[in-house]
Chains A and B, each alone.
Chain A
Amino acid sequence: AQRVTQPEKLLSVFKGAPVELKCNYSYSGSPELFWYVQYSRQRLQLLLRHISRESIKGFTADLNKGETSFHLKKPFAQEEDSAMYYCALSLFQGGKLIFGQGTELSVKP
């Protein structure tokens, strides 16, 4: 069965420290993976997707098919990065996303 696992419910770091939010997936096909973010009092929004291979707000994520992982990384965390982060797997039919449980990132001054 398809599944997305985010092992950390809460990740707390200091400003300027590196950040890595972990995401592992279970899917036998060719995965399409996304990171969504929800800032306080805002709607869930797309942060980045693996097919774009882009860096958004300093965040990057690399798909590792061997380890079935799609970890989100940022070398220097900022206070405004504090938010809820969800890793999501898209199946072939498009609009169906399978979300992980989410990781709350707290960046302290």
Chain B
Amino acid sequence: DAGVTQSPTHLIKTRGQHVTLRCSPISGHKSVSWYQQVLGQGPQFIFQYYEKEERGRGNFPDRFSARQFPNYSSELNVNALLLGDSALYLCASSRFLDGSNSPLHFGNGTRLTVT
């Protein structure tokens, strides 16, 4: 079991730039969720995708967008980066949409630093 894989592991960007983060879910998992974890805080929900459709969105600006591909992998895009976007971005997959019957499996995350 390869688990949820995320790339890249680390990334350094400059303010105003754009970034794309990638996530491959566990085989057979159709739901992918994205979380932002700022240092010292718990993860904060950004998006959930299931069967290539957005099923939930957290309180993040429109600079944040995501999509899910036919193979269920996903990308998170952030435009016009701000210093405050520096965080660990976590991807989680689950078999079904309903989290109570199919717990989330998290990746190791992508550490984004905006300078």
Task: Mark A residues whose CB is within 8 Å of B.
Answer: 4, 6, 32, 34, 43-46, 49, 51, 86, 88, 90, 93-102
Report yes or no: A97 in contact with B108, Cβ–Cβ below 8 A: no
- Cα A25 to Cα B83 with chains together (Å): 30
Q: Chain B nearest CB: distance from A98 CB in Å?
A: 7
B40 at interface by CB-CB < 8 Å: yes
Q: Chain A nearest CB: distance from B98 CB in Å?
A: 4
B interface, size bucket: 20 to 34
Q: What are 27 residue pairs bridging A and B, where the CB atoms are less than 8 Å apart in the complex?
A: A6-B42, A32-B99, A43-B3, A44-B43, A44-B106, A45-B105, A45-B106, A46-B103, A49-B103, A86-B42, A88-B42, A93-B56, A93-B97, A94-B31, A94-B55, A94-B56, A94-B97, A94-B98, A95-B31, A95-B50, A95-B56, A95-B94, A96-B48, A99-B44, A101-B41, A101-B42, A102-B41
Q: Contacts of A90 on B, CB cut-off 8 Å? A: 99-100
- Cα A38 to Cα B61 with chains together (Å): 28
- Cα A101 to Cα B37 with chains together (Å): 10
Find the B residue at minimum CB distance from A42.
Answer: B108
Q: Chain B nearest CB: distance from A82 CB in Å?
A: 18
Q: Chain B nearest CB: distance from A21 CB in Å?
A: 13
Find the A residue at minimum CB distance from B55.
Answer: A93
Report yes or no: B107 in contact with A43, Cβ–Cβ below 8 A: yes
Report yes or no: A43 in contact with B108, Cβ–Cβ below 8 A: yes
